[in-house]
């Protein structure tokens, strides 16, 4: 915009002897132009910030008319946002008009359409680039220009298998620093590993293999996870090898407890009781004879020692240990429960993974985490109350090095604790896998959080780094719009920025059904969560409610509404009703793959609801109870990779084609029966091909023509960025020509 020449406006006046000092106003047309110019200039300046925000939000936007006739919408970064007027807009409409499953296409036709598109994507340039990336074609990154968030220390020499030098990775806080002491935390005491050796650091290479794809779902940037680091098997796991003949001499349970002993001043090792059992609904009286049997304790398998957590220890009157400074800030602790079972064969890779989790989460953090093997005894009728029987199963069920960190349970054990749940169906391990976790929390009160960890899940990067960054992301999430964000796969290329465009579009499409506090039409539930600070989400104008609040639930998959989705377990609801409400009408959420973090508060109220006889299936239990009680639940959209290139809008079509402008639920949900094949090319689901294949190649085994000794001699060592993988079944050497496949049951 050209500058206005105010000096020039007065030039004619100078030649008129000054007889008409306001002569400009004698010319009406010029006066009007001047006034209009001033008004325009003022409006321009006053609205600059707002205009800049609009321009940013509507970059590349246009106005379109939806093919289903739901009205004029604004397309924002690929997302169609309904204008403020709600006339003609139905939140139950599906966002993509190529499918209307209620009247237009059958499941078979939809499946055929996906298969056709999936196969076509497999012919595009970039298909298969997920596999075969090695250190030999690493694209280096300039650390000075990179945003690497962890401390790195370069090796002095290169390893024998690469010309690249790796870097030691240190993701831990600055223990015992000035800022650490100023926060009121007690001193961190370093812990030694097994056999009295120092714990070595994980190493990574800077850069990624050439052509390695970006994640299709989720994002590294949200978590500040380093996307410019890749991990190779020896520099990642090789440090956990043990000298020949020593592994049976090690007790990883004892090693962890020794570490906690050294750092006990940092933690509250005697947690509070579960008062919700008596305060939420009043005392729970069992007609069946007992409000949950307490005669068998998970904790009894740990060697007794007076100064260990859980042993009889005198308190100093304020809940602290003797000698512990009451003014110190107690740090929360987290338990990792590895879900195993009798009859499992522990491979060498399983051993390395368990050692890695113990070393990275417990030993190097000084006891912030503690790792357990929670083993389900599958044999029917086993009396675990008998000490000799318990010891027999303990010795034969896990490798000797892990006996000290193992807890046994069976169906009879949890069914005795929850007598109001029907034994054959409701309280079996498949439909009620959380009962044993709840029982764990009832006894291990010193833990504030629990990670439920599936044995067929893998992390390629540093475990502490990944879990802490998931925690921080969840902690900073505002509650406004949270459940609506939770029910969508986040697709950056389609949704735009997570905290602006994505947040705004989700709320615009969901405002009629937005979750704001616990549901209002469940009078048989007495919510324990906080009340919202305003009557409506819009009242929390600056998105402050929930920011800084630790999440009660963190999932790695969307928390979708299973009602009407076709998901086979979506109707598993028992009780949760009254005279005016059926079980089928219960508001609920589910997340497939039960690897997630739960708070003590959430597990406590799940325990109470199960004591009352209220129950839902395993994949729905944490999300549903969090929803009903107004607790903070967060889906953390970690990076999920695809084995072929997809356009962002097509990913949205196949994974977010549900109601409310594109959720993961609804009648075309990818989680529905017959539609789960959409996950076949992803790195995270309960059935998918890439996880096993990627991981087998990574550890040096041939799978689908890639990997193995000869292949690596020609192409180099595989190197993978930080990622979660599931499922990864038995990791064992393969024969030439072997190809893994993860098949669905249909």
Reported as a single tens digit per residue, the pLDDT across 452-485 is: 999 999 999 999 999 999 999 999 999 999 999 9
* Confidence bin at 104 (pLDDT 50/70/90): low
Structure tokens at 563: 């009602």
- What is the rounded average pLDDT of the residues 159-186? 96
> Residue 32: its pLDDT value, please?
64
- Phi, psi torsion values for 255, nearest 5 degrees: -60, -45
Selected residue with higher pLDDT from 577 and 90: 577
Are the C-beta atoms of residues 487 and 663 closer than 8 Å to each other? Answer: yes
Mean pLDDT of the chain: 86
- What is the rounded average pLDDT of the residues 83-96? 65
Lowest mean pLDDT among 64-73, 527-536, 540-549: 64-73
Statement: residue 318 has pLDDT above 70: no
Reported as a single tens digit per residue, the pLDDT across 504-537 is: 999 999 988 999 999 999 999 999 999 999 999 9
Reported as a single tens digit per residue, the pLDDT across 256-303 is: 999 999 999 999 999 999 999 999 999 886 544 444 444 567 875 443
Helices (H), 576-620: 600-611
d(CA 180, CA 161): 39
Helices (H), 270-369: 276-279, 348-357
Nearest to 617 by CA among 640, 598, 592, 600: 592
Q: How many C-alpha atoms does 571 have within 13 Å on its Cβ side?
A: 8
Distances (CA, A) of 198 to 194, 239, 321, 562: 8, 11, 28, 48
Statement: residue 143 has pLDDT above 70: yes
- What is the rounded average pLDDT of the residues 411-420? 92
The three-class DSSP label of residue 195 is: helix
Reported as a single tens digit per residue, the pLDDT across 424-447 is: 889 998 999 999 999 999 999 999
Instruction: Give Dmax (Cα) for the chain.
Output: 118
Q: Which helix (H) or strand (E) holds 23?
A: none
d(CA 352, CA 366): 20
> Residue 311: its pLDDT value, please?
39
The three-class DSSP label of residue 724 is: strand
Strand partners for 718? 134
d(CA 105, CA 124): 27
Statement: residue 87 has pLDDT above 70: no
> Residue 266: its pLDDT value, please?
97
Statement: residue 740 has pLDDT above 70: yes
- What is the rounded average pLDDT of the residues 376-392? 94
d(CA 210, CA 130): 10
Structure tokens at 668: 């075309």
* Confidence bin at 149 (pLDDT 50/70/90): confident
Statement: residue 52 has pLDDT above 80: no
Structure tokens at 284: 């729970």
Helices and strands per DSSP (H, E), number in the chain = 23, 20
* Confidence bin at 10 (pLDDT 50/70/90): very low
Cβ neighbours around 104 below 10 Å, total? 11
Q: Between vectors from CA 640 to CA 639 and to CA 646, what angle results, nearest 5°? A: 115
Structure tokens at 220: 């590294």
The three-class DSSP label of residue 274 is: coil
Predicted model pTM: 0.87
Selected residue with higher pLDDT from 49 and 246: 246
Q: What share of the chain is helix, strand, coil (3-state, %, to 5)?
A: 35, 10, 55
Reported as a single tens digit per residue, the pLDDT across 587-644 is: 999 999 999 999 999 999 999 999 999 999 999 999 999 999 999 999 999 999 999 9
Reported as a single tens digit per residue, the pLDDT across 199-250 is: 999 999 999 999 999 999 999 999 999 999 999 999 999 999 999 999 999 9
């Amino acid at each position: 915009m050209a500058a206005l020449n105010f000096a020039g406006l007065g030039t004619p006046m100078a030649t008129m002897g000054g007889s008409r000092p306001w002569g400009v106003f004698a010319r009406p047309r010029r006066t009007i132009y001047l006034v209009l110019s001033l008004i325009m200039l003022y409006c321009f300046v006053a609205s600059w910030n707002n205009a800049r925000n609009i321009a940013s939000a509507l970059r590349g936007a246009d106005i379109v008319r939806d093919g289903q006739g739901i009205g004029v919408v604004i397309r924002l970064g690929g997302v169609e946002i309904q204008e403020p007027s709600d006339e003609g807009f139905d939140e139950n409409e599906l966002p993509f008009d190529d499918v209307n499953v209620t009247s237009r296409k059958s499941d078979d036709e939809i499946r055929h359409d996906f298969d056709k598109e999936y196969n076509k994507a497999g012919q595009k340039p970039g298909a298969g680039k997920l596999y075969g990336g090695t250190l030999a074609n690493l694209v280096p990154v300039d650390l000075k220009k990179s945003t690497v968030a962890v401390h790195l220390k370069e090796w002095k020499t290169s390893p024998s298998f690469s010309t690249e030098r790796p870097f030691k990775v240190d993701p831990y806080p600055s223990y015992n620093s000035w800022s650490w002491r100023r926060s009121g935390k007690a001193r961190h005491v370093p812990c030694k590993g097994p056999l009295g050796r120092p714990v070595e650091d994980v190493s990574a290479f800077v850069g990624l293999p050439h052509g390695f794809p970006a994640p299709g779902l989720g994002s590294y940037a949200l978590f500040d996870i380093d996307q410019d680091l890749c991990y190779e098997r020896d520099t990642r796991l090789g440090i956990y090898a043990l000298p020949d003949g020593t592994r049976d001499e090690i007790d990883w349970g004892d090693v962890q407890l020794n570490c906690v002993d050294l750092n006990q001043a940092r933690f509250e090792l005697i947690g509070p009781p579960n008062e919700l059992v008596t305060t939420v609904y009043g005392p729970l009286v069992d007609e069946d004879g007992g409000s949950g049997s307490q005669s068998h304790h998970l904790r009894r398998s740990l060697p007794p020692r007076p100064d260990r957590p859980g042993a009889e220890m005198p308190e100093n009157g304020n809940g602290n240990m003797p000698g512990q400074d009451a003014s110190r800030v107690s740090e929360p602790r987290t338990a990792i429960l590895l879900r195993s079972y009798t009859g499992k064969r522990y491979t060498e890779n399983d051993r390395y993974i368990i050692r890695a989790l113990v070393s990275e989460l417990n030993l190097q953090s000084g006891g912030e985490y503690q790792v357990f093997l929670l083993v389900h005894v599958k044999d029917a009728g086993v009396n675990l109350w008998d000490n000799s029987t318990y010891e027999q199963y303990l010795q034969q069920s896990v490798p000797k090095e892990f006996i000290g960190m193992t807890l046994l349970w069976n169906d009879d054990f949890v069914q005795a604790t929850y007598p109001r749940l029907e034994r054959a169906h409701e309280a079996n391990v498949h439909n009620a896998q959380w009962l044993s976790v709840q029982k764990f929390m009832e006894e291990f009160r010193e833990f504030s959080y629990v990670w439920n960890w599936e044995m067929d899940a893998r992390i390629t990067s540093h475990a502490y780094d990944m879990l802490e960054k998931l925690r921080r992301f969840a902690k900073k999430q505002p509650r406004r719009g949270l459940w609506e964000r939770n029910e969508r796969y986040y697709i950056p290329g389609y949704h735009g920025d997570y905290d602006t465009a994505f947040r705004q579009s989700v709320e615009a499409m969901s405002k009629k059904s937005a979750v704001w506090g616990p549901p209002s039409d469940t009078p048989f539930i007495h919510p324990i969560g906080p009340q919202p600070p305003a009557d409506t989400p819009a009242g929390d104008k600056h998105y402050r409610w929930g920011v800084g609040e630790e999440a009660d639930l963190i999932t790695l998959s969307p928390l979708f509404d299973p009602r009407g989705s076709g998901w086979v377990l979506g109707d598993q609801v028992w009780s949760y009703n009254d005279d005016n409400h059926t079980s089928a009408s219960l508001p609920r959420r589910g997340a497939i793959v039960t690897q997630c973090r739960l708070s003590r508060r959430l597990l406590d109220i799940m325990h109470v609801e199960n004591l009352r006889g209220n129950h839902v299936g395993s994949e729905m239990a944490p999300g549903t109870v969090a929803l009903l009680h107004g607790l903070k639940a967060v889906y953390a959209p970690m990076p999920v990779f695809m084995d072929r290139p997809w356009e962002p809008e097509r990913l949205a079509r196949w994974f977010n084609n549900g109601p409310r402008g594109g959720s993961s639920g609804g009648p075309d949900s990818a989680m529905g029966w017959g539609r789960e094949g959409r996950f076949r090319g992803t790195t995270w689901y309960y059935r998918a091909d890439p996880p096993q294949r990627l991981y087998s190649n990574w550890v040096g085994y041939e799978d689908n023509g890639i990997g193995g000794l000869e292949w690596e001699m020609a192409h180099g060592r595989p190197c993978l960025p930080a990622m979660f993988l599931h499922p990864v079944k038995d990791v064992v050497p393969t024969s030439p020509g072997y190809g893994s496949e993860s098949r669905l049951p249909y």
